[in-house]
Amino acid sequence: MPSILRIKMKARSVFFKLLLSFLGVIVLLVIFELLTYGVFRQSLRDEIIKYNTVNLTNTTNDYEKHFELLENTMLNLYLNPRLQELNSKPYLDYVAANKVTDYLSNTVSNRALYLNNLFIYDVKHSLMLEKSRGASPESMFTEYYVNPVYTYSFWKKQFEQAGPMTIYPAASYLRNDSPGDSTGPVWPMLVKSRFYPDFMMLAFVDADRMFQAFHRSVNDNFYVLDASGRLLFASGSAADEPLPALPPGQDWVKADNQYFFYTTGPKTGFTYVNLVPDDHISSQLIKLNLTFVAVLLVAIAASVTISVLFTVRFNNPVQRIVDSIKSLNEQDTVPRHDNEFELIRGNIGFLLQQRHLRHQDLEEKHALLRYHSYMNKLKKIRGLPVAGMEQLSEQKPFRVVLFHLSFNHPFHTEIQAEEERAASYIREYINHVVTKDLEGSLTFQIERNQILSIMHPEPGEEDRLRTTLDDIVGVLSTDKAYCFLTIAVSPLHAHTASLTDAYEEALEIIRHRPFDDETVVLEAQNVPQEPFVVPDATMQEIKANLQAGNAANVLQALRRLMAQMEKRKAGALAYREFAREITHKTTRLLHGMGLDSGNLTDHEPEQLHTVSKLDRYFEAMISEACRRVNNKKEAADPIITGATAYVTERYTEDITLDLVASWLNITGGYLSTYFKEKTGINFLDFVNDVRIGKAKELLRQTDLRIQDVAGQVGYQNMNSFNRMFKKITGVTPSEYRRSGTQM
């Protein structure tokens, strides 16, 4: 009962009555707007459709009349006295041909015909004449007017088969006589006469000029189809829109929120189609709708004004504000006050604080969206447009500066921090410095160890860019024991459309950084570094010493190679590829010898940044590998020991597998299999390795003739010796002797 009484009391209040009056006015206005909108919508739509239909009819008539005009113009050429003069002589009259060419040039220059070019094909003389030259049909369509569809073979077939008048789909021709020049879209129009079989007329009709002259519509979306439904021409965004079925007897169809207005030309049978989005037609209705909405808003404003006047007159405005605040602050998020103004002030402060927090949250989300937008732009990923992307379209020159972060071993052992956290700190520092010195720059992290800055240096600010980078180098160089940066500066690009190219250039620059752990700034290199190739002879030497377990000789060869790389100033990429190659060959050799090839070293080639670290890496890996080889050798094996001893002592004699097997009292097949299993190489390869190794010593240390050297190491045939020497060392004996001890 008390609740019903309170409701009745509120219903008698001025506020409640004003609210009902306000709602009543709004309802009446909405009903009026809907009725008015319904009455005028259909009539306006019909008028717009009629307007577009009339426009297309006029366009169709203009196109049809022009095609008829062109056909008559080309047929009149058959009666031209210059052409008759050319045809009257059994031989090719060049003077008459030049007259025809001049006439064609004058005809093409008639702007009312919208011609790009006009050709006459002289069948008798196999000659194509156009406004500026004459040539054979094959030369004309392979050298001067080139199109992948309309080739010489295509036109040859059309000259034989086409009807009296044929119009082909519009296409562009490249002008090889003027590189980079193109005809633009032209309609090839072929006209033949059975009364004059010796000549055929081919016109290139400028499709764009005809479109600009004849097309009448609210937009540029326009199709032309032939009688079979083949697309002859499309403009605007029409080329991307599929055509629906166009039933005969109608003027338009609607499909996928698009209006397709179409008519058929009486002469050509072509179908001309205008595409008008439903949004355009609806926009006309929206204008009317906005008028009624404006009236509605005015009425609402008047109602609110009247309500406020009555409220001010019969109620305490401050109390109403307090009541509103209490209704909005039901969860006591703001302390309550006895003073109404303190309550209002406290709530306003609370609202401002909430607004600031929301604004800060939106800024963070906007920064994240902008980061993803740049990443999509950088990696050419098509995505939805995002606010802030307008900066990517600025017509301002820019440079990409790529910071590649590398961590040294002490970072993980002494600091024991996460690389991701360190990278984020460095990114924030770089962003602070770059943004402060170069206004408009953007910095973000694109990979785990890559930070990208896009800078727009103004003319004369290149020195400031260098100073900024030097400041960054100076600060980060203090922590070179733990990490270092490679800073790649791309060339200046004119527009952000080439952002991906600039990024790839920066990546290529980083690939050629020096092999050290210093923070450096690199710019584009004019000549890329040549890759370092390990000589085959040196690789064979390393392999042989590894098989023999001779770590000192292997390390000596590797250090000799590293010295050559330092002399050539090889980059970090070349050193790491060299390290990976040696590591791969070492593990393969151990695997082939039946030895464990795992855990040769605690590091990976990617963790090496200096020559000294690479040397220690090789020393640890080669020493461990040779230790395993020597351990296997130390395990007494009478068969292997006997076979190798026999070869090393009697390599000058004739050695065969069966001879050594007989000496060991075993079969040749068993010796071959057993030797391969235990040593990882074939027995005969071992014999040749021993002999060639002795030959290399003799070539280096003596002046014996090559024939004598071959005989002393067991080769009686020079061809066999030369072939085996080059197979193992990669060079001939003469070349090896000339190279001295460098091989």
* 450 in Cβ contact with 402 (< 8 Å): yes
Residue 671 main-chain phi, psi, to 5 deg: -60, -40
Note the pLDDT of residue 741.
47
Indicate whether 506 and 540 sit together in one domain.
no
Tokens 């732009």 correspond to 377
Element (H, E) at 186: strand 186-192
Q: What is the reported pLDDT for 423?
A: 79
**Same structural domain, 118 and 256:** yes
- List the domain range (segments joined by +) for residue 687: 638-742
Element (H or E) spanning 211, and its range? helix 207-214
Picking from 565, 597, 632, the residue at the C-terminal end of a domain is 632
pLDDT tens-digit map of 510-555: 777 887 878 888 887 644 556 677 777 777 778 778 777 778 888 8
Tell me the backbone φ, ψ of residue 445, rounded to 5 degrees: -95, 125
State the DSSP code for 62.
H
Interacting residues of 64 by C-beta distance below 8 A, sequence separation 6+: 265, 266, 267, 268, 270
Task: Say if 291 falls within a structural domain.
Answer: no
Q: Are residues 65 and 159 in the same domain?
A: yes
- d(CA 326, CA 319) in angstroms, rounded, equals 10
* Domain co-membership, 127 together with 183: yes
**How far is C-alpha 444 from the geometric centre of its chain's CA atoms?**
20
Of 7, 17, 33, nearest in space to 303 by CA: 17
Residue-level pLDDT at 168: 92
Tell which of 581, 615, 632 closes a domain: 632
pLDDT digits (tens, 9 = 90+) for 465-509: 788 888 888 887 777 777 888 888 888 887 777 778 878 888 888
Q: Is 496 exposed, middle or buried (0-12, 13-18, 19+ CB in 10 A)?
A: buried
Indicate the pTM of the whole model. Answer: 0.42
Of 579, 610, 632, the residue at which a domain comes to its end is 632
Same domain, 576 and 661: no
Report the pLDDT averaged over residues 67-82. Answer: 89
C-alpha span between 590 and 547 (Å, rounded) = 8
For residues 572 and 642, membership in a common domain is answered with: no
Residues 473 and 594 both lie in one domain: no
Do 675 and 566 share a structural domain?
A: no
Q: Which residues contact 115 (CB under 8 A, 6 or more apart)?
A: 70, 107, 108, 203, 204, 205, 206
State residue 106's pLDDT score: 92
Q: How far apart are CA 90 and CA 456, in angstroms?
A: 71
Task: Report pLDDT for 114.
Answer: 92
DSSP 578-646: HHHHHHHHHHHHHHHTT---S-S-S--GGG--SHHHHHHHHHHHHHHHHHHHHHHHHS--HHHHHHHHH
The string of pLDDT tens digits covering residues 652-671 is 888 888 888 888 888 888 88
- Residue 306: pLDDT band (50, 70, 90) is confident
Task: Tally Cβ neighbours within 10 Å of residue 623.
Answer: 16
Domains in the chain, number? 4
Residue 643: per-residue pLDDT: 82
CA distance 680 to 625: 14
Task: Give the residue-averaged pLDDT of 47-67.
Answer: 88
CATH number assigned to the domain comprising residue 454: 3.30.70.270
Do residues 54 and 176 both lie within one domain? Answer: yes
Using 50, 70 and 90 to split pLDDT, how confident is the model at 311? Answer: low
Q: What is the largest CA-CA distance in the chain?
A: 131
Per-residue pLDDT band for 61 (boundaries 50, 70, 90) equals very high
Q: Is residue 378 part of a domain?
A: no
Q: Give the Cα separation of 608 and 229 in Å (integer).
A: 67
Question: What pLDDT sits at residue 393?
Answer: 47
Q: Is 420 inside a domain boundary?
A: yes
Beta-bridge mates of residue 253:
260
Which residues share a beta bridge with 163?
none
* Residue 252 to residue 86: CA distance in whole angstroms: 51
Q: What is the DSSP string of 407-463?
A: E-HHIIIII---HHHHHHHHHHHHHHHHHHHSTT-EEEEEETTEEEEEE-PPTT-HH
Q: Does residue 44 belong to any structural domain of this protein? A: no
Please count the helices (runs of H) and the strands (runs of E) in the chain: 25, 18
> Which of 171-185, 335-349, 432-446, 500-514 is least confident?
335-349
The answer to whether residue 13 scores a pLDDT higher than 70 is no
Claim to verify: residue 147 and residue 61 sit in the same structural domain: yes
| Of 121-135, 483-497, 635-649, highest mean pLDDT | 121-135
Task: State residue 714's pLDDT score.
Answer: 87
Check whether residue 659 and residue 579 sit in a common domain: no
Residue 270 lies in a domain: yes
pLDDT of 314 over the 60 cut: no
**Residue 528, domain member (yes or no):** no
Task: Answer whether residue 464 is part of any domain.
Answer: yes
Is the pLDDT at 718 greater than 60? The verdict is: yes
Instruction: Convert 371-401 to b/e letters by CB count within 10 Å (16 or more is b).
Output: bebbebbbeeeeeeebeebeebeeeeebbbb
* CATH classification at residue 667: 1.10.10.60
Whole-Å CA distances, 650 to 265, 613, 638, 659: 101, 43, 18, 12
How far apart CA 711 and CA 651 sit, in angstroms, is 11
Residue 332 lies in a domain: no
- 516 class by beta-carbon count within 10 Å (0-12 exposed, 13-18 middle, 19+ buried): middle
User: What angle, rounded to 10 degrees, do the helices at 536-548 and 551-567 form?
Assistant: 150
- d(CA 63, CA 157) in angstroms, rounded, equals 27
With 60 as the cut, is the pLDDT of residue 206 above it? yes
Q: Are residues 76 and 149 in the same domain?
A: yes
Q: Is 740 left (phi over 0), alpha (psi -120 to 50) or beta?
A: left
Half-sphere exposure of 574 (CA within 13 A, CB side): 21
Per residue in 216-268, pLDDT (tens digit) is: 887 888 889 888 888 888 887 666 667 888 888 888 888 877 888 889 989 88
Work out the mean pLDDT of the chain and round it to a whole number.
Answer: 78
DSSP state of 325: H
Residues 6+ apart with CB under 8 A from 296: 26, 29, 30, 33
Highest mean pLDDT: which of 528-542, 595-609, 611-625? Answer: 611-625
C-alpha to C-alpha distance for 75 and 194, rounded to whole angstroms: 11
Identify the residue with better confidence: 333 or 614. 614
What is the pLDDT, as a whole number, of residue 7?
55
What amino acid occupies position 347? N
